[in-house]
Amino acid sequence: MKFYLLLLMIFGVTIFTSAFAKTHYPPLFPYPTQVEWQQGQFKLDSQTKIYLSSNIGKHAAQELSSFLQPPTGYLFEQTQSLAQNQVRFQYVQGMENEAYRLHVGENKIVIESSSEEGMFYGVQTLRQLMPKDIESRMPINKVYWSIPQVNISDQPKFTYRGMHLDVSRHFYPVSFVKQYIDWLAFHKFNKFQWHLTDDQGWRIEIKAFPKLTSIGGKRAHTVVGHTYDYKTLFDGKVHKGFYTQEQIRDVIEYANARHIEVLPEIDVPGHSSAILAAYPELSCHKQSVHVEGQFGIFPQVLCPTAETFSFLDKVFAEVSALFPSKLLHIGGDEVIKEQWLESPFVQQLMVKENLTSGDDVQSYFIQQVAKLLNKYDKTLVGWDEILASGAPSDAMITSWQGIEGGINASKRGHKAIMTPYEFTYFDAYQSRSVEEPKAIHGFLPIDKVYGYQVVPDDLTTEQQQLIIGVQGALWTEYIKTARHAEYMVFPRLSALANVAWGNNDNWSRFQQNLPNIIRRYQAMNINASYSFLTPNIRIEEATPTRMLLNITSGLSQSKLNVLAYDAMSDTEQIKSLNIDNNGNVALNEMKTIKVQAQYQDMLSLPLTLTVTPHKAIGKNIIFTNQPSGDSKVKINDGVFAYDQYYDVNQFAVFYGEDMEAIIDFEHNESVSQIIMGVNAGRHRQLVPPDSIAVYYSNDGQQWQQVKYINGVEVEQPVIRLNFDTISARYVKVIAKNKKQSFDKQIPLLPLYIDEIAVF
């Protein structure tokens, strides 16, 4: 990294934009409903007192006093009489439950609300109005602290504003969970979904079934790299941990004090490997299984027997006693029905209950679970898969596969929480830089989070009212540490907070405030990502003789440092570039472009892209077996995918099939080399071809072989195929799929081809 920075200083071509004007007022997130900035400041000092008009606001006042005392050293005496230099908590009647008004004047600060929640949210906004140094937990020597004068009137649009945390895949201690709750409270979230069980570990003490934690709470090892890598490796380290019931109560009490409702998630009937490792008799096959060390979807499923429902009844009895929330999430997602359909018991059950499919069996299972929860006055919440054959009438739906689940739920009369993965899953990559830390897959930049509109337009007014809110998710398959978790959550949580509060209508203001939001996070000792700065490289034109690229920054006020290297060169010789004022770059040979953006002391991760003009660009390609989706255009677009994050959409993918591609040059061309992209960058190891053969023809009928390699084991993401120069109208490339699966989860091996560059 230091080497690249030195090169940027010596050789980089720098594009400057207009200076970024300092934001006069501090950023507020989520942005309040109404804000009227005033001239002047309130000076908070050692003589500032706190006034309470009633007991409503008592806890919020204590929260403010406790928060301010470490950095200021002030004691903040409470007084019963009105005077100057006060922070007043004023109870008023008639306001909505979570609404508040905040007035910062020259001589007083007034927080008004009808509820403790509103008072608490007023405190969070006041905290953001103060200098970022107020976040220090150590004393800072100041005579006073300045707060800009302002009038704010605020209330949320949605009653459900949630965030999720997966502690099954990687276990996090209570201290981190509490810190996570602090972050949610600061951003005015009011729901926390605690994903406590999955295939990789059971994380909650159940006294009736101690083996759930003694056996189901630990796994022998964890996959190294990605779970779907070509050659799976494991770390050989036991991963374990669970929360005692005493710890659960402690976390709930902590959350309640911050007006956050904790929803437990106990995932059934799928994602149950940890349960069945402890109690295999609850499966249909009764065979021993293990707690999974890989990630993905597994066939282990609870059998819909009386024994299983008796087990779940006792589990839910203990869980219900621990969690005051009326909502209990039971998962219900990604259930593989194979073991059910192979079971004689389930076959008999299907006849008895008039069930005709695996989806029907799942619906039956969920209905039985709902009856159990009703005993404990709980409402069942499930992922949108539970809609397949009919969910319980009072069930709430979390719509994760897209917005369609929420639409279908509301049309059927269910309340829905929108959590579509493409907008709210923070385990996705934040930029296209290959230097992003490992993520599961997908691309979710902060502007996409901010731009999410929660309520679909194509619903009636009554149906829209059933969309009660939005929830983000942090799945932790590849997030092993707290600092990595922080990086994935921040600053995207600030964008989601605006969405959840209902005020995500001014991206320009939010984007300009992002550097200052980051600085506050840093003052809170949060490892926030700079990925919002990462540049963009867009292909404007691709021909056999020229590639035209446009390079822009993720933040217009930053400067860009641009380098070009000889692609795939061992010496990385740097070449000068002609970059116009619009950020356009023209290339007539293969190059690797590396770009970094800088704003003040913030430096983005480098964005790297290898591009090349070549003779197959724009030419017709005929496939014997069609690749999946629309990916076949990627095979001759002049762009290699290996030096950005793994994106399956950048590859032509052949599932269980060979690739046979015929390129028609329309006239004879001299050809002596083909460079094929066959692998991803640093985060994924794709399945290489078993063999590759190259043929040529002048009539498309008679073919001559010019190159053949067998037993391909790819160390590099590309394969270079050199041969004596030929003159040909047609070139055919055959890449053989290995076909035999290395994983039962993948019945057909995928063959990935990124580019067929012809020279």
Domain 160-225+237-529: give its CATH superfamily: Glycosidases (3.20.20.80)
Q: Please, what's the b/e burial string for 37-58 (b: 16 or more CB within 10 A of its CB; e: otherwise)?
A: eeeeebebeeebbbbbeeebbe
- Identify the residue whose tokens are 């446009």: 550
The pLDDT of residue 464 is 97
Domain 620-758 of CATH type 2.60.120.260: yes
> pLDDT-derived band of residue 5, with 50, 70 and 90 as boundaries?
very low
pLDDT above 80 for 723: yes
Query: 644: phi > 0 → left, psi -120 to 50 → alpha, else beta; which?
Result: beta
The pLDDT of residue 566 is 79
403 CB contacts (<8 Å, ≥6 apart)?
418, 420, 456
- pLDDT tens figures, 636-670: 999 999 988 888 888 999 988 999 999 999 999 99
> pLDDT-derived band of residue 8, with 50, 70 and 90 as boundaries?
very low
Q: Enter the DSSP assignment of 31.
A: P
Domain positions in the chain are 2-18+532-594, 34-154, 160-225+237-529, 620-758
**Residue 27: how many other CB atoms lie within 10 Å:** 21
User: Where is 360: in which H helix or E strand?
Assistant: helix 358-375
pTM: 0.93
**Beta strand pairing call for 416-418 and 467-472:** parallel
Two structure tokens written together for 351: 């006849």
Whether the CB-CB separation of 592 and 608 falls below 8 Å is answered with yes
- Identify the residue whose tokens are 């897959």: 441
The pLDDT of residue 564 is 81
pLDDT above 90 for 13: no
The pLDDT of residue 4 is 38
Whether the CB-CB separation of 269 and 301 falls below 8 Å is answered with yes
Query: 251: phi > 0 → left, psi -120 to 50 → alpha, else beta; which?
Result: alpha
The pLDDT of residue 711 is 75
CA angle 293, 299, 301 (to 5 degrees): 105
30 CB contacts (<8 Å, ≥6 apart)?
187, 188, 494, 497, 498, 500, 501, 502, 503
**Amino acid of residue 192:** F
The pLDDT of residue 399 is 98
**Amino acid of residue 665:** F
Q: Average pLDDT in the 329-349 region?
A: 97
pLDDT above 90 for 497: yes
Distance CA 368, CA 361 (A): 11
- pLDDT tens figures, 611-642: 999 999 999 999 999 898 666 568 899 999 99
Q: Average pLDDT in the 306-326 region?
A: 98
> pLDDT-derived band of residue 567, with 50, 70 and 90 as boundaries?
confident
- pLDDT tens figures, 413-447: 999 999 999 999 999 999 999 999 999 989 999 99
pLDDT above 80 for 746: no
More confident residue, 565 or 743: 565
Query: Which top CATH class is 34-154?
Result: alpha beta
The pLDDT of residue 230 is 85
Catalytic residues: 334
Local structure of 566: helix, strand or coil: strand
**Residue 354: how many other CB atoms lie within 10 Å:** 8
User: Where is 265: in which H helix or E strand?
Assistant: strand 261-268
Of the ranges 419-423, 551-555, 580-584, 737-741, which one carries the lowest mean pLDDT score? 737-741
Domains 34-154 and 160-225+237-529 share a fold: no
The pLDDT of residue 87 is 98
Find residue 720's DSSP bridge partners. 675
Whether the CB-CB separation of 694 and 721 falls below 8 Å is answered with yes
